[in-house]
Amino acid sequence: MRMALYRPWKRCPVVRIPVIAVGKLSIPEVAEKIIAEGQADIVALGKGLLADAFWVKKVEEGKPERIRPCIGCHDGCMGRVMKGKPLSCAVNPATGRESSYRLVRAERPKKVAVVGGGPAGLEAARVAALRGHEVILVEILKDLLIGGLPVQHMNRLMLLDLLKFHKVEVLTQTSLLEVLEDGALLIDHELRRRYSSADGIVVAVGLKPERGLYQALRNQTPNLYLIGDSRNPQNVMNAVWDAYEIGRMI
């Protein structure tokens, strides 16, 4: 038998019992190919199911693009277990505490402005929109998810799709100029100003501990929230968890 990673692995001809393949096989196409080509009888998933408990259902229903991909960071699962903390997941903060952390529809839908198009901003926008809020997302650069660390391709596609699906309005090359009593004054790269009504503003402007915008605006409204690296530079897990928490409560 040749020892190798995943697919080049060859089934041992003398083994008569079912063979289970395991280890980073949570891309549906890869898992299906292993079964289709007879390289194993069963594919087992570990982390893929922590990131998305509905992995199997989504594959069964022919909607693999709806799967929330595991990013292989180990921060929320094994990393937490090693520290004696309950198991969870960096990209799915509800894992392991599904009932207490589930998302419920907002009783009173609000208008929410999210400033910053990194992982934290996108997660806050996704969760707030999922709960029925009307969300506008502004990013100072030309595109989302290009400001900080390059985000994995699958996660990037999924987040962008979800924003579209939840009808989050996205304004690139735009920033927040001023917090008004009932909204936000936005400004784009050509110095055009635009008013957007907002009941709450989430600042997720990131990578460096840049709190200038937040400090300048915090006395102007009680509904201003600072999340992600902007609050405390750490990693994707902390940015996503911060964002989920605000999106869940706002």
Ligand X SMILES: Cc1cc2nc3c(=O)[nH]c(=O)nc-3n(C[C@H](O)[C@H](O)[C@H](O)COP(=O)(O)O)c2cc1C
> Which spans of this chain sit near ligand FAD (rule: CB under 6 A)?
73, 115-121, 138-141, 147-149, 175-176, 204-207, 213, 228-230, 234-237, 239
- What track of x and - describes contact with ligand X for positions 58 through 97 (by CB under 6 A)? -------------------xx--x-----x----------
Q: What would you report as the CA-atom Rg of the chain, rounded to the nearest whole angstrom?
A: 21
Nearer to ligand FAD, 119 or 247 (CB): 119
Tokens of 75: 């921060």
For ligand SF4, the binding residue among 21, 34, 67, 91 (CB under 6 A) is: 91
Q: Which residues contact 228 (CB under 8 A, 6 or more apart)?
A: 116, 118, 119, 120, 121, 204, 206, 238, 239, 242, 243
**According to CB under 6 A, which one of 12, 23, 60, 195 is a site residue for ligand X?**
23
- Using the minimum distance from each CB to ligand X, give the nearer residue, 46 or 233: 46
Residues from 50 through 89 that contact ligand SF4 (CB under 6 A): 50-51, 70-77, 89
Distance set, CA 82 to CA 43, 69, 76, 234 (Å): 26, 22, 10, 18
Bridge partners (DSSP) of residue 195 are: 185
How is residue 250 annotated by DSSP? -
Closest contact distance (angstroms) between CB of 226 and ligand X is: 31
Q: Which of the choices ligand SF4, ligand X, ligand FAD, none does residue 147 contact, using the CB cut-off of 5 to 8 A by kind? A: ligand FAD
Nearer to ligand FAD, 21 or 176 (CB): 176
At CA 6, angle to CA 4 and CA 9, rounded to 5? 50
Give how far Cα 9 sits from Cα of 29, 45, 46, Å: 17, 17, 19
Q: Which is nearer to ligand X, 8 or 222 (CB)?
A: 8
Inter-residue contact 88 to 96 (CB < 8 Å):
yes
234 binds, among ligand FAD, ligand SF4, ligand X, none (CB under 5 to 8 A by kind): ligand FAD
Tell me how many degrees the CA angle 129-244-107 measures, rounded to the nearest 5. Answer: 50
Q: Using CB distances below 5 to 8 A depending on partner kind, what does residue 24 bind out of ligand FAD, ligand X, ligand SF4, none?
A: ligand X
Q: Would you tell me which residues interact with ligand X (CB under 6 A)?
A: 22-26, 45-48, 77-78, 81, 87
